[in-house]
Amino acid sequence: MQQYFYDLADFVGGLLQKGEVYTSYLSGENSDFCRFSGGKVRQAGGVKQHSLSLRLINGQRHAQGSLSLSSHKDSDRQQIKDLLGTLRDQLAELPEDPYLLYATEVQSSEARRQNLLPDSRDVVANIIERASGLDLVGIYAAGSIYRGFANSLGQRNWYESYPFNLDWSLYLQGDKAVKTSYAGFAWEDGAFAQKLADAKSQLAVLKLPPRTIKPGQYTVYLAPAALAEVTDMLSWNAFGLKAHRTKQTSLLKMVEAGVSMNSAVTLRENTAEGLAPDFSDSGYRRPSQVNLITKGDYQDCLVSPRSAKEYGVATNAAGDGESPQSLELAAGTIARTDVPKILGEGLYINNLWYLNYSDQSACRMTGLTRFASFWVEQGEIKQPLNVMRFDESALRMLGDKLVGLTKERDMIMSAHTYERRSVNSAHLPGAVIKDFSLTL
Chain segment 269-285, per-residue pLDDT in tens: 999 999 999 999 999 99
Digit-coded pLDDT (tens) for 102-138: 999 999 999 999 999 999 999 999 999 999 999 999 9
Beta-bridge partner residues of 24: 54, 150
Query: Given pLDDT bands bounded at 50, 70 and 90, which one contains residue 399?
Result: very high
Digit-coded pLDDT (tens) for 355-371: 999 999 999 999 999 88
Q: What's the one-letter identity of residue 234? A: L
Mean of all residue pLDDT scores within the chain: 96
Average pLDDT over residues 401-415: 96
With 90 as the cut, is the pLDDT of residue 439 above it? yes
Instruction: Render 39-87 in DSSP notation, one character per residue.
Output: TEEEEEEEEEEEEEEEEEEETTEEEEEEEE--S-HHHHHHHHHHHHHHH
Digit-coded pLDDT (tens) for 217-259: 999 999 999 999 999 999 999 999 999 999 999 999 999 999 9
Structural domains of the chain, ranges and CATH numbers in brackets: 2-205 (3.30.2290.10), 208-438 (no CATH)
Cα 64 to Cα 54: distance, rounded to the nearest angstrom? 6
Query: Given pLDDT bands bounded at 50, 70 and 90, which one contains residue 440?
Result: confident
Digit-coded pLDDT (tens) for 184-197: 999 999 999 999 99
Q: Return phi, psi of residue 242, to 5°.
A: -60, -45
pTM (predicted TM-score): 0.93
